[in-house]
């Protein structure tokens, strides 16, 4: 683990968010004027505010996609992002029609907006979920907590028990709750009886089906072997021992990895072996991702089968499917429900990889049809309809 990541994980959960809030400017007169101009442009009596979680120019996750698709439905959307990362000129920055980034204090922003419009505040991180559950009045401020992972995912952080407490508080007290997977719904239902619904993850229509450019993978691997791919964050939910056994156990296949090695585990378990069939490309911009995925012959989901893994609903599964690429996964309920190749141990994984590589041509159209049944645009419609009704 790098020194920086050790420092990150040692900062208590509550103190970390106190520090992060320092990235956000207070809502000054100039920002109020910017926000006033935005609200004056729309006839609808509402606005959607996404509280800070990941920056806009990072790996695109559920909240990024939902923000985009809700804005495409004609709703005004403000998405929290830190100024330093996204290089704002001011506190409000336009992304597209109806979609804006903000880097001012979310609480001050919501309170100001609530004097003009009804505000639907959508939170993913437990800290903000609790803050806005306490602030919501159910009329002008509607708090929405979107539970995307089991709360034990925060166990890697110092003070993680506080994160779980905030998660549970947000589940119990928010005006509405969304849940990203059927498996996670068991946890949600144990803490909340009503005003919650499962809305699974999706994929962007045509984005992975017809990429604008193609990645020449042969220029990287310099051979004619099949290519098995993984993209995403390498963190505690990945079964690195399983992955190590797989990449060392099948030598006639290229393994291409892309993403962010959060705590150095991928380096320790995989890259340190200096295997000739392993290629690590680091972080890839989301806009370029389709061209890489289209060059894959199979995708991997080597998640641990603990509570965090069991409740996971990896966005990347449908992204592979949209490109016609089969996926080999540990027995995640989500993967099973989406007809992935399922394997529980290294021997099974190697066997299923070979099966998936042989079956790709036959399965491509079937996989694309599964993906098209789960478009982000449809998920946004479900979310809006639920909140407004």
Q: Give the CA-trace dihedral at 196, 66, 213, 359, to 10 degrees.
A: 0
Residue 55 confidence (pLDDT) above 60: yes
Least confident of 78-82, 208-212, 372-376: 208-212
Residue 86 confidence (pLDDT) above 60: no
Pull the structure tokens for residue 273: 């072996």
Name the pTM for this structure: 0.90
* Distance (Å, whole) CA 316 – CA 60: 10
What backbone phi and psi angles, to 5 degrees, belong to 346? Answer: -55, -40
Pull the structure tokens for residue 371: 């993906």
Query: Comparing C-alpha atoms, which of 316, 323, 277 is closest to residue 297?
Result: 323
Structural domains for the chain: 3-202+376-388 (3.40.50.2000), 218-372 (3.40.50.2000)
**Cα–Cα–Cα angle for 61, 376, 215, rounded to 5 degrees:** 65
**Cα–Cα–Cα angle for 90, 134, 91, rounded to 5 degrees:** 0
Residue 162 confidence (pLDDT) above 70: yes
Residue 193 confidence (pLDDT) above 70: yes
Q: State pLDDT tens for residues 15-30.
A: 555 555 555 667 888 8
* Distance (Å, whole) CA 355 – CA 369: 20
User: Residue 327 forms beta bridges with which residues?
Assistant: 299
68 Cβ contact partners less than 8 Å away, ≥ 6 residues apart: 96, 99, 376
């Amino acid at each position: 683990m790098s020194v920086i990541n050790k420092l990150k994980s040692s900062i208590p959960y509550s103190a970390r968010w106190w520090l992060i809030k320092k990235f956000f400017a207070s809502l000054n007169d100039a920002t109020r004027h910017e926000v006033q101009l935005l609200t004056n442009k729309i006839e609808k009596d509402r606005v959607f505010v996404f509280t800070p979680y990941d920056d806009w120019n990072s790996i695109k996750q559920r909240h990024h996609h939902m923000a985009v698709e809700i804005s495409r439905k004609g709703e005004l959307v403000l998405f929290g992002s830190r100024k330093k990362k996204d290089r704002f000129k001011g506190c409000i920055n336009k992304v597209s029609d109806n979609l804006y980034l903000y880097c001012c204090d979310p609480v001050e922003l919501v309170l100001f907006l609530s004097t003009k419009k009804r505000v639907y505040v959508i939170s993913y991180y437990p800290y903000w979920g609790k803050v806005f559950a306490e602030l919501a009045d159910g009329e002008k401020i509607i708090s929405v907590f979107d539970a995307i992972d089991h709360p034990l995912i925060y166990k890697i952080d110092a003070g993680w028990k506080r994160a779980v407490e905030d998660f549970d508080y947000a589940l119990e007290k928010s005006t509405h709750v969304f849940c990203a997977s059927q498996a996670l719904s068991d946890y949600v239902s144990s803490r909340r009886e009503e005003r919650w619904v499962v809305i699974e993850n999706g994929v962007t229509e045509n984005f992975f089906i017809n990429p604008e450019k193609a990645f020449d993978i042969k220029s990287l691997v310099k051979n004619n072997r099949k290519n098995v791919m993984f993209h995403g964050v390498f963190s505690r939910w990945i079964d690195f021992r399983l992955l190590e056994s797989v990449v060392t156990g099948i030598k006639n296949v290229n393994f291409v990895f892309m993403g962010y090695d959060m705590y150095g585990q991928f380096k320790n378990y995989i890259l340190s072996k200096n295997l000739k069939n392993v290629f690590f490309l680091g972080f890839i911009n989301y806009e370029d991702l389709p061209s890489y995925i289209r060059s894959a012959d199979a995708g991997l989901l080597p998640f641990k089968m603990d509570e965090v893994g069991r409740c996971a609903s990896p966005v990347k599964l449908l992204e592979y499917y949209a490109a016609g690429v089969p996926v080999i996964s540990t027995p995640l309920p989500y993967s099973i429900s989406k007809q992935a190749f399922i394997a529980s141990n290294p021997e099974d994984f190697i066997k299923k990889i070979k099966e998936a590589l042989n079956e790709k041509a036959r399965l491509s159209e079937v996989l694309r049809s599964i993906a098209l049944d789960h478009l982000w645009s449809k998920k946004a419609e479900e979310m809006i309809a639920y909140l407004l009704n």
